[in-house]
Structure 1
Amino acid sequence: MSQLLSKIAECIEFGKINKAAPYPPDRKGQDGADELTKQALDEGIKAQTILSDALLPGMEKVGIKFRENKVFVPQVLMSAKAMSTAMVHLKPYFLSGEVKEKGTFVIGTVEGDLHDIGKNLVSMMVEGSGWKVVDLGTDVKADQFVAALKEHENSIVGLSALLTTTMPSMEKITKAIKEAVPNAKVAVGGAPVTDNFRERVGADFYSSNPQGLVEYLNSQVD
């Protein structure tokens, strides 16, 4: 069992989606996350075990490598694709309650900003770490974030911005969230954002990379 789980973890880490996928070249023709996850379920390995002992460790390694500049966005996207392919097999177990999600993370690019690459990358990394992600898209206004937080109680919210010109929106939205949902935790990120900015606007967390956010989110789980 442990050998099969290790193989699945490696497929996530190196972005091996399925047998037909040519990437990575050294695993061409080998089973990928798709086939191996199905095999694990067929052999009676619990979905929760596959998630916690194979998928999450594989994605965590990718996150750490990305933070350390050992892999880059294309490799992370391949790993995220392998993860989502494996998750298709586990979805019924999430719906039945057999597999537990860690919590809910609401994310969006703030009002006035239409950039979504960073947001999408963060979303995939967070989802790949066992969280439910509610992606509000781009150009998201304060009332949309507040409505999502009220709909998904006890969720944590992430605000993304790529432009310095939209940083005032991030400040306005953070204040609106704190007024409407005082206990809400707000994380901010994006190219122009700094920890000093986070402190000034009253947000709870800042990270320059997705893995830092994942580790913060995991630290908030009871």
Structure 2
Amino acid sequence: MSDLMNLKEAIVNGKLEEAKAIVNEALEAGVNEQEIINNYLIKGMEEIGERFDQGKAFVPNLLLAARAMKGCLEILKPRLKDGSGASLGTLVIGTVKGDLHDIGKNLVASMLEGCGFEVINLGVDISDSQFVDAVRKYNPQIVCLSALLTTTMSYMKKVIDTLTNEGLRQKVKVLVGGAPVSEEFAIQIGADGYSSNANGAVILAKRILGKC
């Protein structure tokens, strides 16, 4: 069997096929699925996130690492008894109505999933009522709102207001992000947090849920 430490490096380096091969060999050797996820896959995602923060890795590196992580999870998750054994919590994420940008949002979603969250990715151009429906259906702890345009970022407040009017605001934390969004804007619209990048979103989500 390949050295499992190579699995962490395969994730960090975004080597999808190598990572999947090591996972399959580990399973054949009887290694526990949860051990693989917690001790190697998540550790790999955490390391690439730290490298990003230090300026030693860039967005393409994050995307490749997230792709490798997702490929491994597709092998492992069906073998977990409840299908979500690694979950730190459930999040709903989407780009708000009127905005069709999804690269940044998808990167955040992949990083969150790679670090152990159950992520419901609603897509782009999501209305306030769609976010409300998702909160009722999936019962998440966090809702993440994304916008890349100054003309659509104000819709984030509408989503928050609708969650309040529907009696759901106290049940979820709302995090916001995107190029035109700032900490000041997040405070202004009543969001619970803001991050300028994917790794920061993971750290923020963990902190909010007490998982740090």
Same fold (TM over 0.5): yes
Q: Which amino acid aligns with 1:186?
A: V
Residues 1:9 and 2:14 aligned together: no
Partner in structure 2 of residue 215 of structure 1? 203
Percent identity, aligned pairs only, is 44
Partner in structure 2 of residue 206 of structure 1? 194
Is the 8 Å Cα contact of residues 115 and 138 (structure 1) preserved in structure 2?
yes
Map of 1:48-87 to 2, 5 A cutoff? 48-87=34-73
Is the 8 Å Cα contact of residues 67 and 209 (structure 1) preserved in structure 2?
no
Q: State the Cα deviation string for residues 126-162 of structure 1 (Å, max 9, x = none).
A: 1101111111111100010011011111431000000
Cα distance change of structure 1 residues 158 and 34 upon mapping to structure 2, 3 Å threshold: same
Q: Aligned Cα RMSD in Å? A: 1.7
Q: State the Cα deviation string for residues 13-58 of structure 1 (Å, max 9, x = none).
A: 111111xxxxxxxxxxxxx101101111111111000000000010
Cα distance change of structure 1 residues 99 and 4 upon mapping to structure 2, 3 Å threshold: farther
Partner in structure 2 of residue 182 of structure 1? 169
Deviation at 1:221, TM superposition (A): 4.7
Distance in 2, matches of 1:9 and 1:197, equals 37
| Residue number among 89, 95, 98 corresponding to 1:103 in the alignment | 89
Q: State the Cα deviation string for residues 88-144 of structure 1 (Å, max 9, x = none).
A: 220213354582411111000001111111101111101101111111111100010
Distance in 1, matches of 2:115 and 2:10, equals 15
Cα distance change of structure 1 residues 94 and 157 upon mapping to structure 2, 3 Å threshold: farther
Distance in 1, matches of 2:129 and 2:84, equals 34
Cα distance change of structure 1 residues 131 and 94 upon mapping to structure 2, 3 Å threshold: farther
Is the 8 Å Cα contact of residues 67 and 211 (structure 1) preserved in structure 2?
yes
Q: Which amino acid aligns with 2:183?
A: D
The 3-state SS of whatever aligns with 1:159 is strand
| Residue number among 114, 121, 130 corresponding to 1:144 in the alignment | 130
Residues 1:93 and 2:79 aligned together: yes
What TM-score do the two structures reach when normalised by structure 2? 0.92
Is the 8 Å Cα contact of residues 148 and 178 (structure 2) preserved in structure 1?
yes
**Structure 2 regions of 5+ residues with no counterpart?**
none
Partner in structure 1 of residue 114 of structure 2? 128
Is the 8 Å Cα contact of residues 105 and 133 (structure 1) preserved in structure 2?
yes
